[in-house]
């Protein structure tokens, strides 16, 4: 029987080793398909890119006059792309989504079902899961956003370091190189950001956490937390 490893997990490599030592026959499968591990969050973006490259246009919803679509687009039932939107495919939009007006969706963006994207939003190479709202004047780059999130107006998610180096992400207490020069954030389900909040590359926010208005986030935030930035104001009498 396979026991837990030093990191507290059941390892398939340990199971295979036990079988070999017991004289069991081990079989492998030869495949011409790509092997992509998805044990870490940023690897979801790699899988998303891989499958969207094969996307074919299928418009089941409505694209209003005045919207521009370039490249493959899947648009689910009862979804609408409003006038002024610019879509650079491949882009996947699920069912019952409301996009725009004047929204820019860039390559490899994947929106789940019941997603609302407001006016003048830009989303690049990101996964936005079901029932999430991305409100007006927001930028989301190379990110994974969970379900039931609310991304408030003016939220900015940075995806590039000042030194152009690979983005590192905290995984179980260790900073791991994601291998990606461009990487935004990973939000759990139910995250809510305040207006004009900003996030540095590689930040993770846990389930059901809240971010106050105007906050600048450079470190991970655990689940079920509320972050409120402290501010100081000086009020000057105009008559003095």
- Known catalytic residues are 136
Residue 92 C-alpha from the chain's centroid: 14
CA–CA separation, 52 and 111 (whole Å):
12
CA–CA separation, 205 and 225 (whole Å):
9
Give me the residues paired with residue 184 across strands.
none
The runs of H, that is alpha helices, within the chain are: 12-21, 43-52
* Cβ-based neighbour number of residue 33 at 10 Å: 6
* Cβ proximity of 64 and 46 under 8 Å: no
Residue 195 C-alpha from the chain's centroid: 19
* Cβ proximity of 179 and 173 under 8 Å: no
**Alpha carbon distance, N-terminus to C-terminus of the chain:** 81
CA–CA separation, 109 and 138 (whole Å):
15
């Amino acid at each position: 029987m396979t026991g837990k490893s030093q990191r507290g997990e059941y390892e398939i490599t340990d199971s295979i080793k036990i079988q070999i030592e017991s004289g069991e026959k081990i079989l492998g499968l030869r495949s011409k398909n790509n092997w992509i591990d998805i044990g870490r969050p940023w690897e979801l973006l790699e899988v998303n890119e891989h499958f969207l490259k094969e996307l074919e246009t299928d418009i089941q919803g409505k694209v209003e006059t005045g919207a521009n679509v370039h490249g493959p687009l899947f648009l689910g039932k009862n979804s609408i792309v409003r006038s002024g939107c610019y879509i650079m495919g491949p882009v996947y939009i699920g069912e019952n989504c409301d996009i725009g007006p004047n929204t820019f969706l860039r390559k490899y963006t994947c929106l789940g079902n019941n997603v609302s994207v407001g006016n003048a939003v830009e989303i690049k190479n990101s996964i936005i899961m079901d029932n999430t709202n991305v409100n007006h004047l927001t930028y989301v780059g190379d990110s994974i956003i969970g379900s039931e999130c609310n991304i408030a107006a003016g939220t900015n998610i940075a995806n590039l370091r000042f030194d152009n180096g690979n983005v590192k992400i905290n995984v179980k207490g260790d900073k791991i190189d994601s291998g990606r020069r461009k990487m935004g954030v990973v939000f759990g389900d139910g995250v809510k950001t305040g207006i004009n909040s900003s996030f540095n590359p590689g930040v993770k926010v846990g389930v059901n956490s809240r971010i106050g208005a105007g906050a600048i986030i450079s470190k991970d935030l655990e689940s079920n937390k509320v972050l409120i930035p402290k501010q100081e104001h000086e009020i000057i009498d105009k008559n003095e």
